[in-house]
Structure 1
Amino acid sequence: MAIAVQKGQVARWIELLQEYDFVIEHRSGKSHGNADALSRRPCPEDCKHCTRQEGKEVVSARIFRTDQLSNEWKDSHAQQEDSDIKPILEWMKASAPKPKWSDVSAMSSTTKSYWAQWDSLLIQDGVLCRKWENGRGDRCHLQMVVPKAKEPDVLQLYHSGCSGGHLGVKRTLLKIQERFYWVHCRDDVEDWCRKCTSCAAVKGPQIRSRGALKLYNVDAPWERIAIDVAGPFPETESGNKYFMVVMDYFTKWPEVFAIPNQEASTVADKLVHEVFCRFGVPLEIHSDQGRNFESPIFQETCRVMDTQKTRTTSYHLQSDGMVERFN
């Protein structure tokens, strides 16, 4: 069916094109530079990494827009005083070819990092800059290479200053990369944001403090009990769909009762007539935060019996682990 549809479409196109005189010629893929430039980046003349190089006659469609640096940051004197940048700056001003490894091997790791990016460096108005090209290849920025003494000024301006707004690491880094570059810039931005007192005061501590764990000391049977309700289950002939578990913390003795529902009145009635009347009133009852245990009826029962009521923390079954394990 699909083949028939395709043949029909071809037939209609042939009928329409019969009105014109034209010649169909094959055009190789490398000749489609007008279309390929929109979807791929052409290989450079000395490309050594790609086995499928586009034709060198294809005109590059990349548009480079170079931003000019502001005058207040054009400070070559600070770069001259930076021991890591000074050698690179002098070589670049002398229009020297890329130095050999033997010339930089004894220098600092920062100087070596700039040396490794030699092809991306240039001199503009006497200032050492770095060309930064985005992933699409359609835009190129000039980033001023920032000397060590000026790094705090840049971080202060773009994070803590009026134009910074105390943004996070990612957004602060993006703003800085629009105009500046230095080795380990990301690490310095992360460290600056982490140590910012204004950000710390708003965000608070990363690690929240928790209450200290403690052990409950139980001295006698039925002094402290735990209670829980499980279900619903398939209804029995007696109409029961839930079961209520009561356990003693001292002896680990369990009592299980089948109940028709988990309403607060049903739970309180079963607890009084089946537990309190047989074993006595405990000093403390522990349960989860179920609505039946938190209801006014259950709370009033505990108040009348002079029993202290405790509860687990939210979404933390370990707080009532004895009953949960038994279930």
Structure 2
Amino acid sequence: MWVNRQFFSIIEGTLYRADPEDRGLQLVVLQHLREEVLRQGRDIPTAGHQGINRTKERLQRYWWYRCRSHFRRYVKTLLLNLQLNEEKCQAGTAAPLDTVLCKLSDGEGASRFSEYVLMIVDQFTKWVECLPLPSQTVEVTEAVREFFSRFGCPLQIFTDQGRNFESNLFKLVCESLNINKSRTTPYHQTDR
């Protein structure tokens, strides 16, 4: 770094590096914060699962020595983990939150404030969540997202063919969280 010291400056007590490609200043990241920067820029479901080049673009405002090789190694490891998870799903080996079953039904007597009940079941642990809903519009997607925020995202979600689970919004949520969505065939129930 000393050889390239002309690229570095301290602004308000923080070390920055001038990007040689004139894209502005890059924050110099300390070693103990590098994994967190990578995780925030790559692993958050709303960031999508980007490849090596897109990850580099996304993280271009950060810098540390050999950061590009670190980006590449990190992304390759994540892609390998995604592939292993997919193979695990196909092989039928199960673990908590591998597969979650969802079903919406009218809430016969659930509560005077809700007309519907969304039932979510973790297929491995058999944990059941029954969530009362006032209607069956966007609330289904919000309830499923709330479940994911408490327990984590499953690898696969299995639903009936209800309109709520086939909506573009629900599909977009599954896509952005990298959840494989599948459904029953007509006239079959989700509780297998």
User: Normalising by the residue count of structure 1, what TM-score does the alignment of the two structures yield?
Assistant: 0.30
RCO higher in structure (CA 8 A, sep ≥6): 2
Q: Based on CA coordinates, which of the two structures has the bigger radius of gyration?
A: 1
**More strand per residue: 1 or 2?**
2
